[in-house]
Structure 1
Amino acid sequence: MKKFLAILLLLTIYANGQSAKVVAFTATKRTIHAHIGRMPVAIFLKVHKQFAEHDQTYYSVQGWYRKKSSRTKIPIVGVYNGSLTLFRFDDKNSRSKILDFESKKPDLFSKAQDLEHSEGYAEKFSIAKYDREIKASWESGNQKMPLYFAPDETTEILEKRELLVITAANGKTHHVNLLGLIPERKRFSFVGICALKSGSRVLLNYEYTYNQNSQGRCGAGIESGYVTLLLDKNYKVTSAKDVQTESCNDDLEVEKNPKDPNLLTTNDLRNNKVTKWRIDAKKAQIIKVN
């Protein structure tokens, strides 16, 4: 019996020998792949400084671009606020003006406009975003050519990321990108992880404000719930299931049990349906109990 218990204990330690956490951060650099006409190029950019005034924010960026046929990295600087204006200057002073937002204009918007129309450049990239459409061009002297991007390419330099970082029983670290697994879900926190024969199961909690405009519908209303992930043995996501527990937008209320924090009740006002749930962190599950 003692031998059996010892084996069971070892199996339990192995099953729980992995750990996990959620890490949220904002990426501030990116490599973008594009074509100047038919010529493929790679553009690397990183944020240099942030400039904010009232509700407006701009960034100066620096980096390089390289033609696919060459290893030479050509220095570029620019202005970023979702759209991008990039310059190749041959003199240091012109580069510094862009990076430090040096302009005699009175306000931030006017300064940005002034810098985006800088002259004396050797090359200029103009990348404007309209919703999901990108209109872009490259120019040098009297030459002007369209700048093309692949449909799945992004020109976002700043990108919010949330990663599930898992340390396996063997000490190896694995990363799972959480944003985009379930549309709109964000601000995750780790609840539990459980080893399975086929891989692992992970339970995450999320909670965020649906509408930042406090005067609008569901102003400052909370969206919350749980996401269950199934991972294979290589820690790749095979399934993502969402259980929403609170939503002003969907008329869903939640009540937590004051005596047991692992019990909660959801009230679907739209469909007049009450459901009780239990949170099991050890098994990484949210279970319906009625």
Structure 2
Amino acid sequence: MDPPGAGAARDSAAAPGTWLLVVTAAIYLNQVLCPVYLLRVWHGDPTAIARFLPDGWFALAVDDPVLRWLAERWPRPELLSWSLLRVPALLELPFVVLAYLTVCRWCGAEVFRRVAVWPLAIAHTATFCLVEWSLFNPFTAQDIALCVASALLTPWWVARLSAGDRQRPGSATDLVAFTVSTAALGALVLVVYDTALLHNLGHLGSALPVAAVAAAVLVVARLVARRGPVAHAGPGITAVSASLGWFLVFFAAPSLPIRCGMSFGAPVLSAVAGLVVVAAGCWTGG
């Protein structure tokens, strides 16, 4: 017989949110090692690779005294070369998939189970590869190979995560808690993208207040959500909750292609695709 709390501990260990924290930690560890490599091997100047990329990359914290101290003492810094672009290419897919599945799990166990992770991974990987190709640089072939490898491993891995036992939002309070949680997590995802996945560790100081507020809001929202529904769901709440769940299911695969289409020259097509997904979610949920 399991000791009290053992089941909850196992569920937490297999939750996408737990592994999202692990992947995020790995991303930031890489962002500590990358400046070490650049300081020792490239003399702190990323121009050789930055010239292939648009503005908004490589605001490195190479002047940080802690990083300089670490760089001076790191043995064999040339072995850290993969921290430059390649490791982010490997970790980006699990990062975004785990973030999305975390939101789905908040919306209910049945929503989490309905998400087709293989189409999600394939659509996101295809988008990542197209973006990589559009930003062609000396590491593009390796980046694409790592994206494909990640696409093969990530669905297999996340399929083994726990859906939990949460019911879909059953009250206005639940819906507000879910919405606030999703917005706060979205803000944190954007911070990770800017400060880590784009090699902008130098932005971390200015991003910390935003991240701290978002994290605090997220914690409060999840505490509220754990109280459970305070009243029986009426037909309006039930319809909204069901539509929201189906929207998350339908939006999983095309979410990144739609967003990137807005940024890479296909805003009308992306808007139409988004409206179709919204309509499908409302129709199915209703």
Fold agreement, TM-score > 0.5: no
For Structure 1 versus Structure 2, the TM-score category normalised by the shorter chain is under 0.3
Q: Structure 2 length normalisation: TM-score?
A: 0.24
Higher strand share: 1
Query: Which structure has the greater CA radius of gyration?
Result: 1
Q: Structure 1 length normalisation: TM-score?
A: 0.23
Higher helix share: 2
